[in-house]
Chain A
């Protein structure tokens, strides 16, 4: 097993979650739509889980819709809302540093006749509220801004955006996947109307997501069928997955505070040490308003994929903003939005910590990283 610093990409399912799920694959396999004993038990557990998961974000149970994951939730939030509320306006605002799914959904909506504007961020990745205001028109019906960024970990002023939206009767959607389990979420406090969650991002099973839909907010369903989830998302419920997510929420509610403090300690050690032991290395993202598990650096004169490969050779798994390791060869749009040049985005590495990291993992990384950077810089024509 490698030393894993890429919790943002994927997380292992907590063994306690798997244990909770297993009976629902074998003994308790009923369909909530059925009227027999097995069906009744399925309905009971489904509603129990809905209540727990609603509590995690301070919502009501009937505001929770289960989906197949965060991407589906984002689709339902943006496309479902836009199509249902088209009569009120056709303008949607997103931020420049949204997750790629939001960007691509926005492009799809543009092809369907909607007008999408993207609000820029400052050099630390925070939304500029004045620039957001400047983009709102009479036709604006929805603003979608991620709770925290998945790459650089910058936390957005969600409460302020929520307030601004509420005053103007604009719906506020937030993709909270990166923030889940790291920040306490409260849809009431932040005046969020639509919120995207993923089960795996709190160490729950993969292939399950949640869409929070505030009471009174109307959406068109994207998946039509037997009318499950109040007609908003048809298809037989993924009961074992939902049970797993409930267990993941219970564990989070008990341990989150302690876990976040531990990760923050490791993260702070990285942020403090790496730029000190490696010359011409800079932190990307916000110095303070950032997720407790995120450290993101750029190293002048070297390219991220080379760094990633060298760390891989040393048994360390990380992510990079480099284009060379992406399918499209385009550098990360998030890093470019910070105002970085292509070559700077290329030389960036992302470290995201998680539940199963230990202090020794950080020791090992700090041992290996300076040498790896030095070797690659010796090869580089851009570093003297």
Chain B
């Protein structure tokens, strides 16, 4: 069976998704799940009154069935009590859509999971105190191969930006200096990736604006585990801390700036 051989109901929900968008407010909780295999990402927002889902919205990055299952799960959960809604299963979602191609079953899993995540977040929210802002930390873990490939693709300092012309460059978060380097490198190459273990960029407002407007691709909550190649850097192994997932990325250079004291920058500005 072709992976895109969808039922009419799937196609209908894909073409006319119900309940799209986001919700905001005190009584709103968000569920968010990603699927590392497919790269799908789904967010479900629920607005709860008297332990009932009064309103529900979704956003999805994913294939046709990811959109359709998210749309369907919002239809199924709307108006239900939290207990009823938490009993909605992936099979329920698939059945209501008149089935899914077998390889796409994980998409319906994702929709139900996002709903359950939203419900859990709502229930926990009531108990939980507001969290203090997490301190920014830099990757401490040693990078395998860093020494072996030093100056063969791994650089601890940069004297001349032009050596990175048209290269795929990965810059590891080492504070504002490294961010500034990443932005400057975009003049040399279209491919600059900034890897940070934190959830947000820690920098002064001006630099934050510059990086947002630049072509720098940012990998949040990620660290570099290993540098790989044949005499010179060809690939890196990235660890996504959020999803606890590892993957390889083809790059030419890895910049790990040294000798910077960043104790004064250890807060989100």
Give A contacts to B, CB under 8 Å. Answer: 96, 117, 120, 122-124, 131, 134-135, 282, 301-303, 305-306, 308-309, 313, 322-327, 329, 331, 336-339, 341-343, 346, 378-382
Contact = CB atoms under 8 A, between A and B. Distances in A.
Contact of A325 (B4, B42, B43, B189): B4
Contacts of B132: none
Contact of B60 (A120, A313, A380): A380
A378 B57 CA distance: 13
A380 B63 contact: no
A303 B40 contact: yes
Contacts of B103: 327, 329
B168 A339 contact: yes
15 contacts: A122-B168, A123-B189, A131-B232, A301-B61, A303-B61, A305-B64, A306-B63, A324-B63, A339-B168, A341-B249, A342-B39, A379-B20, A379-B67, A380-B60, A381-B32
Interface residues of B, number: 43
A324 B251 contact: no
Contacts of B166: 122-124
B252 interface: yes
Contacts of B66: 303, 306, 324
A381 B33 CA distance: 11
Contacts of A336: 250
Nearest to A378: B20
Given A303-B40, A381-B60, A325 B3 contact: yes
Contacts, number: 105
Contact of B63 (A120, A135, A282, A325): A325
Contacts of B17: 379
Contact of B38 (A131, A313, A323, A341): A323
B99 to A, nearest CB: 17
A342 B219 CA distance: 12
Contacts of A313: 15
Contact of B62 (A96, A324, A331, A341): A324
A341 B61 CA distance: 15
B62 A123 contact: no
Contacts of B234: 120, 131
B122 interface: no
